[in-house]
Amino acid sequence: MRKRILLLSIIAAGIAGATAFGWVTIRRGFSARDNPSVVETYVAKTARRLSVPASERNAKNPFAASAEVLSEARAHFADHCAICHGNDGSGKTQIGQNLYPKTPDMRLPETQNLTDGEVYYIIHNGIRLTGMPAWGAEEKDEDSWKLVVFIRHLPQLTAAEEREMEAINPKGPAEKEGSLLREQHFVRALCRWAAPSRSGRKLPYWRR
């Protein structure tokens, strides 16, 4: 009898809590500008942890942190991931800070303490009800494993590496137009420099 009463009390408390949470959420609205509540954060992290199969959680990365792997993964990250996560993994981007939940700082222990298998699983399969999509082919993909290597490197990312990534980042229409104009100017200058003078001799660029 006591167990039954205790069980009913727990169920009633759960229903009351869910009702209160729903009422507060509706009153506040569903704006993505808000930060998740403590309850939402706990539930989401628990669900994420439980959603990763044990076999995947303990999977070993087949790639070591060699210069070649880091270079390839850094370029991949700059081209595919930095638009939300930032080149430095801080998540301080216009898109990253307006998602719900906001893009995490992957340099911090919350991400770095995950196993390689967990990080790979998140990249490869994405996370439902967030802005994180699934990447790569449905079967195992090497690119996602290499990204795990780069994510481990984020806390030690250098300024030189960030500058290299900036050159790879996708460009908007205005940046593309400016880049095209610079390239055209360079090509015209190169052609003028290479063109022979009437006498057959090449003249310095500044004398043409």
d(CA 13, CA 9): 6
Going from the C-alpha of 99 to that of each of 1, 85, 153, 166, the distances in angstroms are 48, 11, 24, 22
Q: What is residue 15's predicted lDDT score, i.e. its pLDDT?
A: 78
Q: Evaluate if residue 28 carries a pLDDT over 50.
A: yes
Whether the predicted pLDDT of 187 surpasses 50: yes
Residue-level pLDDT at 14: 64
Q: For tokens 């790979």, what's the residue?
A: 120
pLDDT exceeds 70 at position 60: yes
Contact between 152 and 61 (Cβ < 8 Å): no
**pTM (two decimals):** 0.70
The length of the chain, given as a count of residues: 208
